[in-house]
Each structure stands twice: as structure tokens, then as C-alpha cells.
Amino acid sequence: MRSVTKDNITEVFTAYFGEDTDPRVREVLGALARHIHDFAREVKLTHEEWQVGIDFLTRAGDITTPERHEFVLLSDVLGLSSLVDMLHSREDATSSSVLGPFHVSNPPPLEIGGDMKRDFEGEVLLVEGTVRDTEGNPIPGAEIDIWQTAPNGLYSSQDPDQDIHSFHGLMKADENGRYAFTTVRPVSYTVPDDGPVGDILRAAGRHPWRPSHLHYIVSAKGFRNLVTEVFPDDDPYLDEDTVFGVRSDLVMTYEPQPAGSFPEGFALSGQVAEAYSRVEFDLVLAAD
């Protein structure tokens, strides 16, 4: 168009699409451009602010490595990652929540009743539950991929003092869909805030904390993969998770258990004399 204006530029953008453009590309890219244009018009974005945005993206690119995912973190703190999760969450299944960047491929096998705490300091947490379908039937043999931070607040890939499989485990539910393991209670931690996303958080007066959580990916043949997290109901950051990951059905009570009451059937049975905590977290999968 030889006369682009601030009011017709979205139409001009749409007019430039090739006739053979994939309809979904046209829909997504067209909507993206329209919302970006509407945003700029609405706030009357200045050149200086535009430059701040370009510099931000450039710095985010500079800090990004295979281990440091600044664009994912940006999406996380803007709430986009959580929104994409929720858009495809099934209401009759367990809510999905953010995958985050700390999952590892090939997690080590973990037997039912196995232990991830090993020699780390901290209170034992016993986690158990059942994997079910939306009608309440157990899903035998469902695969449960679990990971969390060490007590220092770091995931294995962030921490040179942990081996890469530390606090990662892959469990197969039993014939009743039951899973169970011991670990150490995960801690609240901060997302990496030493880069440009940290600058956004500071500019917005936000902290970088996430409430403590255990990550899960649950999969079973004929069911949709469930990527989720479980949170304790007494975490101070529960109402202000910087990545918007908390859903009401993912908040559980971690029940304190008296000293001497640790049950049989666990790798740690007979070794835990002190008080521990227990959380029950059932996982409901939607059919594929």
C-alpha cells in the first residue's frame, strides 16, 4: 500500500499474506500482528520505549544458552506459559501447570516406595496417590516422571554439586494405579533474575519467588499427557507465584506425621525415626 497509516496498517499487514498461506499461519500471525498493533496504538508506544524492547530482546538472546532459557522465562513471568497450559487443560482432569526448564530427559527409574532424598538434609516427605481416569478408575502402569529442587533451591541442571539425575525419577504406577515415594520437602525458590527478565520483575515491583512444588509428567496409553505440579497449602508464595503456576486443585496439605510413625513398604522403612510429612496427590488423566 503506498499509503500506510497508523489506522490501516493492520489491514495492510493482512493484505500482504500470500494466497496460499496456511490458514492457521494466517490466523495466528494475523492475530499476533493485530494485537501488537493495538498494543502500540493503545499506549502510544514511543521510539525510546520501542528501543527498550529491542534492547531487551537482544539481551535475552545474549544470555540464552542450552541451559538458560530467558525467552521461556519471559513467557513464564508474563503468564503466557500458564495461559497456554490452561487453554488446553481439561476441566474434568487434574489441572496442568508449567513444565519449566528443568526437566531432564532419561530420568532414572524409581521403584514404587523408592527414595529421592538420599543423603540430602531436611525433613522426609512421603508422597503418594493414585492415577485415575475421569470416571475414577485407576490407570495401572501409568508413567510418572517426577522432579524437584534440592533443599538449596536448585535443580540438578543448575547445581554443579548435584549429579544431573538428582531429584529426578521415573515411576510406573502399580496395578491399582498407585504411586508412592519419599523425598525431601522442596523449598520455595527464585527464578533466575540476574538477566533482562529480572529487570522486568524489578521494574514491575515483583519478586522472583515461586512457591515450593513437585513437578509431574504423567502419561499412559490412551490418555493425554499431564504436565503438572503440586504445592503445599502453607507456602508463603502461594498467592503470588511469579510464573502463575498455582491452580486450586494442585494445592495440597502436607500433613505432619509424628516421630516413629513411618510406615512399612518404603525404601526408607526402618530408617526414619523422626517426624516426617505426608501428602496425597491423586492424578486424573483425560482420555486422549
Q: Which of residues 226-285 bind a second copy (CB under 8 A)?
A: 231, 238-242, 244-248, 251
Cα dihedral 97, 99, 100, 106, rounded to 10, equals: 150
Q: Which of residues 179-208 bind a second copy (CB under 8 A)?
A: 200, 203-206
Segment interacting with a second copy, rule: CB under 8 A, options 22-30, 114-122, 173-181, 259-267:
22-30
Considering beta carbons, is residue 89 or 130 the nearer one to a second copy?
89
Please report how the helices 80-87 and 70-77 are oriented relative to each other, as an axis angle in degrees rounded to 10.
70
Environment class of residue 153 by beta-carbon count within 10 Å: exposed (0-12), middle (13-18) or buried (19+)? middle
Considering beta carbons, is residue 7 or 119 the nearer one to a second copy?
7
State the Cα–Cα distance between residues 75 and 252, nearest whole angstrom. 26
Considering beta carbons, is residue 45 or 275 the nearer one to a second copy?
45
Considering beta carbons, is residue 32 or 273 the nearer one to a second copy?
32
Is 18 a binding residue for a second copy by CB under 8 A? The answer is: yes
Kindly state the DSSP code that residue 218 receives in the 8-state scheme: E
Is 49 a binding residue for a second copy by CB under 8 A? The answer is: yes
Is 119 a binding residue for a second copy by CB under 8 A? The answer is: no
254: three-class secondary structure by DSSP: coil
Is 6 a binding residue for a second copy by CB under 8 A? The answer is: yes
Q: Is 85 in contact with 241 (CB distance < 8 Å)?
A: no
Distance in Å, CB of 117 to a second copy, minimum: 27
Considering beta carbons, is residue 163 or 234 the nearer one to a second copy?
234
Q: CA–CA distance from 96 to each of 125, 181, 222, 252 (Å)?
A: 22, 21, 17, 15
> How many residues of this chain bind a second copy (CB under 8 A)?
80
Is 118 a binding residue for a second copy by CB under 8 A? The answer is: no
Distance in Å, CB of 32 to a second copy, minimum: 6
Is 152 a binding residue for a second copy by CB under 8 A? The answer is: no
Q: Which of residues 66-105 bind a second copy (CB under 8 A)?
A: 69, 71-72, 75, 78-89
Burial annotation 186-215 (CB, 10 A radius, 16+ → b, else e) = bbbbebebebbbbebbeeeeeebbbbbbbb
Q: Which of residues 26-45 bind a second copy (CB under 8 A)?
A: 26-29, 31-33, 35-45
Considering beta carbons, is residue 104 or 251 the nearer one to a second copy?
251
Q: CA–CA distance from 127 to each of 10, 51, 130, 200, 210 (Å)?
A: 52, 49, 11, 36, 20
